[in-house]
């Protein structure tokens, strides 16, 4: 069975894979290599993604044209903002951003329920047919392990201060925070 560090790495790899796929789809990611040229700079400055036909999207999603436009604009703004933090932010910026992903109700604390919702979603994305097979109670065990590590004062919630302090002391987490340093 995978250790907590192994599960954290899988979660990081899943998120990285999703980000890379989205970056590739928007034409914003190519493997780094060779010298930069004026042609490369021009190509990056002219990248523009146009979604498939609006009619096709409406049919596939059951959203109205207006709803799709609102969703698309919101996604672009949120995506670019999040990407700027991940790629260009300080370690504190990145950790704060990660904390806010887990703090679902935005009250400044991560509860076990919030963490369980996130972990269950990650395990669901990984699928039931991983090797080695994940145990049914693996998300709950992961949450308990997370709280043992992060909940410094044992009050049942993890504050942003506890989260950042704990993450900065964890070598694996700090290495994963630096994975995106030279992507673009």
> What pTM was computed for the model?
0.63
Cβ atoms of 58 and 64 closer than 8 Å: yes
List the pLDDT tens digit at each of the 184 positions of the chain: 334 444 455 555 556 555 555 555 555 445 444 455 555 554 455 455 555 677 888 888 888 888 888 888 888 888 888 888 888 889 999 999 989 989 999 999 999 999 999 888 887 777 766 666 677 788 899 899 999 999 999 999 999 999 999 999 998 888 888 777 776 6
Name the helix (H) or strand (E) containing 14: helix 4-25
Q: The tokens 């504050």 sit on which residue? A: 159
């Amino acid at each position: 069975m995978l250790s907590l560090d192994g599960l954290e790495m899988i979660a990081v790899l899943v998120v990285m894979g999703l980000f890379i796929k989205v970056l590739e789809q928007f034409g914003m990611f190519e493997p780094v290599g060779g010298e930069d040229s004026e042609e490369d700079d021009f190509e990056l400055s002219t990248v523009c993604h146009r979604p498939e036909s609006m009619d096709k999207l409406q049919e596939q999603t059951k959203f109205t044209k207006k709803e799709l436009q609102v969703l698309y604009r919101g996604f672009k703004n949120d995506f670019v903002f999040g990407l700027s933090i991940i790629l260009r932010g300080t370690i504190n910026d990145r950790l704060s951003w990660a904390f806010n992903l887990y703090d679902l109700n935005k009250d400044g604390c991560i509860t076990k329920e919030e963490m369980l919702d996130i972990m269950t979603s990650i395990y669901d994305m990984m699928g039931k047919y991983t090797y080695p097979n994940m145990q049914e109670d693996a998300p709950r065990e992961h949450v308990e392990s997370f709280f043992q590590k992060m909940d410094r004062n044992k009050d049942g919630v993890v504050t942003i201060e506890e989260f950042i302090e704990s993450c900065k002391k964890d070598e694996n987490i700090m290495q994963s925070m630096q994975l995106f340093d030279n992507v673009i």
